[in-house]
Structure 1
């Protein structure tokens, strides 16, 4: 039995017609799934009972099982802990802005990158998510909250570019007008930097936004924060980003988590400005969400000084506003807590 959420539009049409159904039946099914959030063929009343029985034999439409949900009293940020069919757990987050709702979704169970400030890495890596499991996060959140998600950020648990094929396929599904119908420029991939995959992404013809989690201006410091840097240096990653920009013309966001005493010095800001000069970028400065006692946020004065250095050197930068701080909204924290409580 095939997971319908794993299928592209073209694949679903081919499957449906191979069963002897008319091509337009695929559109009817997708309207039920993506617009009405129905994942039971018995409820698809514009299909005959015979067709429904046939489809049930060949397809499943597994939405995710909700294990836990936290809602911020500060800003409404909502965090979900889902159980997959194999019993593994992942997290997704809904972020509310005045003009849009953004979903932060996962691509892996755990994460192999192990950034020292990330709770996901602390729980270890289990496996990649399937295309359908990535797509199901959007559908499950929309059904649970009865709200339409307009923006998607691949910035949850896991490294999207280490699950490349499923990430790209899920983007095409979420972007397709008869499926997720989310504008391609409203979809962002956040990566710690896998050079060959960044270059491959440039060739996909997908006009997605790209965010690079850099977090340090030198390899010495980044090696300590992002262990994968020992495999892919800052120079290799930024070279790949330059190739990406030459091909796409798109601005890239640089994510920079600021940790007191580790990467927040004025000399770090100056070095960061130096390595990013002449690039079409925007720097998102993020005060660390402490997942360990020895990781502290810089003072407000230090944050502003760091930003000022970048601006003075012609680098566009902003300090990200915290969301969901009262519910530990950083991805991985809820799952890690559950793992510890059951071990």
Structure 2
């Protein structure tokens, strides 16, 4: 696995990372033993860039990674986590975001305890707090770097203006946001800002939450607690339309003797050539065989004709990329986030 330098900060990570949320929550029941097996296989394959958040399973995902890391050398993993989401203590429902300095310090210490580590390699603000200037939040995050608790700073789910303001306070190593054949809105302003400022981009959901694999194009086979039931792109009417958009993806995959998922991941990886910045996707999985398949996507090369055939997909997708959220939560995200 080759390394990629995220932006201009010098943070070296493998060319593909692992989104760890599904190992604990979000996509139906998790198998603890299988989750640990995925982490072990990820190390074997060189997938050492792991992404989590204090919101995933309300701390359970960080605890899982901490359990695994207790048995390996800490420097084998580039560990990223996030703070900022808040939840109702009784129901667990999301309530908003906090980015005030006191909260940031407390959140970092709590993540360090759950992860069982003395430092976080890449610490993201999960979503900006509209009541706190982002410069103030990043200033508090910079204090964590000075204290040795955090090595590099990242931001997630934000707009280009917020990124510019934050980067003026402390260098930002990476922005984490959604980017896939289904979701390309960030190419208008956020991607150019990252390229200009020397900020790496870490796409989450590069497989459209499984839709682009061709295996999860409806909610029929999903467990009742799978979060995709709440995503408009998976509703019956939208899913029927969106399935029809996958024909060029399947045709290219068949011609190359690879899977649709590998073509979709290769497309994301090749964004670095198209836009002149470092791009490291973090597809998630709960199965070792899918992890192995994802890594093999790094060997898939898409031609100009392939890219042209895939380009129209995003403009034709129906259904919002966000789940059904109350207005107060939806308002946290800028239009170009």
| TM-score normalised by length of structure 1 | 0.43
| TM-score normalised by length of structure 2 | 0.44
Q: Which has the larger radius of gyration?
A: 1
Q: Which has the larger strand fraction? A: 1
